[in-house]
Amino acid sequence: MPKVLVSNNSELLRHFTAPPFTRLGLELIVAETGDQALALFLKEEPALVVLDAELGDGGGFAVARAIKQKSPSTRVILVAGKRLSGDQMREVSACGCDELLIAPMTADELHDVVAIQLGEPRPGTEGFAIEVELGGRKVEATVSNLSVDGVRIVVHEPVVEGQAVALSVTPDDGARLALKGTAVWAQPRDGKTVVGIAFEKLEPAARVALAKLTQWQVAKDGERIRVVLRGDFTEATRFDELIPALVGRVVFDTAQVTYMNSLGVRAWCEFLRQARIQGYEFHACSVPFILQASMVKDVIGRGTVTSFFAPFHCIGCDHQEERLLQSAAILAASFEPPIFKCPSCGGALEFDDLPDRYFAFLQDDDGD
């Protein structure tokens, strides 16, 4: 049971009791003051610390700095007010915190950051295992571009067009799917064979299960519908099958969207226009999704983006990673991205894009 040290902040404590946090099985340790937070940190050795920047006895920035100095591996999330000055942004960098959130926030925003910092999967990120058989025997294969229509594999042996292929897909939390297909093309490459496989007609239940794994997952989330989108948005992606499920308010989670070409963008924008959703917002948007949203306004339509991933890079050691940012934090800092401490070398982990370009999708939210 992971221990989490948290400031005695009514909003934070309320969110930590919300349903999304139940599955994380957290042990909460509540600190009233900065001095108490440090004392409890030394005594309890929590895996994660969530601090109010306005915490008494020196403030959350000072407490965060002290914790990171004593234990660099402890993850620290700072929660600040609606506006951040340049000096405060420099304090964010200097204190070494791992994430910055702006209050007020939703339980979803807090949960996503907490789950990532603890190394726990976010809802809808469940994985699956795939086995491939050629001629009735299992073969080692690299699998990519799995969809409801087919899959691409790379194998270490010859394959010819028209050859039968059997696959089994086993979700982490579900029953095994047995799929049959045919190699529609095969290309030898560097001693291997790249194969495009088209599936035979799928049973309705198998199609729904495969779509859940590869394209989207729809779930009732309180009074909202949560839609986790996955994979590539291309001319082959069909969004119309989603429309009947989108009743009421909708949250789109696009963290697992890996690629969007121009035809996929067009199909997605047309889907948003046709869906007539009562209201919707986007959570944990992937870098490919944000890059398109910053170029094509209709990618987010009438919705708003509450959080998104952004690229960061350490010049000192060349470490690269994506960090989940809260839209409110970027707006509060007047579009100045935070600077974090590199987990590899301790140097500066800086935003690796042009703010004006990458944050363009937020401009309207700021009234520009």
264-298: per-residue pLDDT in tens? Answer: 999 999 999 988 888 999 999 999 999 999 999 99
Residue 243, token pair as written in the block: 């429309």
Query: According to the model, what pLDDT value does residue 58 have?
Result: 56
Average pLDDT over residues 177-185: 92
Residue 221's H or E segment, with its range, is: strand 216-221
Average pLDDT over residues 185-195: 85
Give start and end residues of each alpha helix (H) in the chain.
10-16, 19-22, 34-44, 59-70, 86-95, 107-118, 204-214, 262-275, 287-295, 327-332, 355-358
Please report where in the chains the tokens 């949960």 appear, as a residue: 111
Bridge partners, residue 310, by sequence: 323
d(CA 112, CA 118): 10
Query: According to the model, what pLDDT value does residue 127 have?
Result: 65
Query: According to the model, what pLDDT value does residue 6 have?
Result: 94
End-to-end CA distance of the chain: 45
CATH superfamily of domain region 128-202: predicted glycosyltransferase like domains (2.40.10.220)
Residue range(s) in the chain whose domain bears CATH number 3.30.750.24: 215-366
Query: According to the model, what pLDDT value does residue 365 have?
Result: 47
Query: According to the model, what pLDDT value does residue 10 have?
Result: 86
DSSP sequence for 19-38? HHHHTTT-EEEEESSHHHHH
d(CA 317, CA 334): 29
d(CA 73, CA 341): 11
Strand segments (E) across 42-176: 48-52, 75-80, 99-102, 128-134, 137-139, 141-144, 150-155, 164-171
Query: According to the model, what pLDDT value does residue 207 have?
Result: 83
Residue range(s) in the chain whose domain bears CATH number 2.40.10.220: 128-202
Query: According to the model, what pLDDT value does residue 56 have?
Result: 65
Query: According to the model, what pLDDT value does residue 368 have?
Result: 43
Please report where in the chains the tokens 């309180």 appear, as a residue: 222
Query: According to the model, what pLDDT value does residue 305 have?
Result: 96
Which is nearest to 60 in space by CA: 51, 68, 72, 69? 51
| Ranges 65-74, 93-102, 165-174, 261-270: which has the least confidence | 165-174
Query: According to the model, what pLDDT value does residue 118 have?
Result: 87
Which carries the bigger pLDDT value, residue 321 or residue 190?
A: 321
Binned at pLDDT 50, 70 and 90, residue 85 comes out as confident
**% helix, strand, coil for the chain, step of 5:** 30, 35, 35
Contact 102, 332 (CB under 8 A): yes
Residue 252's H or E segment, with its range, is: strand 249-260
Bridge partners, residue 341, by sequence: 348
Residue 354, token pair as written in the block: 């042009």
Which is nearest to 180 in space by CA: 150, 152, 210? 150
Residue 135, token pair as written in the block: 């001629």
Give the chain's mean pLDDT.
88
User: Would you tell me which CATH number, out of the four given (3.20.20.150, 3.30.750.24, 3.20.20.70, 3.40.640.10), belongs to the domain 215-366?
Assistant: 3.30.750.24
Bridge partners, residue 227, by sequence: 218, 252
Residue 334, token pair as written in the block: 């007047």
Contact 244, 214 (CB under 8 A): no
Which is nearest to 337 in space by CA: 90, 110, 116? 90
d(CA 99, CA 310): 12
Query: pTM for this one?
Result: 0.77
Give the pairing of strands 279-283 and 304-305.
parallel
Which is nearest to 336 in space by CA: 350, 347, 349? 350
Residue 89, token pair as written in the block: 């942004």
Query: According to the model, what pLDDT value does residue 367 have?
Result: 43
What does the buried/exposed string (b/e) look like for 125-140 if buried means 16 or more CB atoms within 10 Å of the residue's CB? beebebebebeeeeee
Q: What is the pLDDT of residues 211-251, one digit of tens each?
A: 777 788 888 777 889 999 988 888 878 788 888 888 889 99
Architecture category of domain 3-118 in CATH: 3-Layer(aba) Sandwich (3.40)
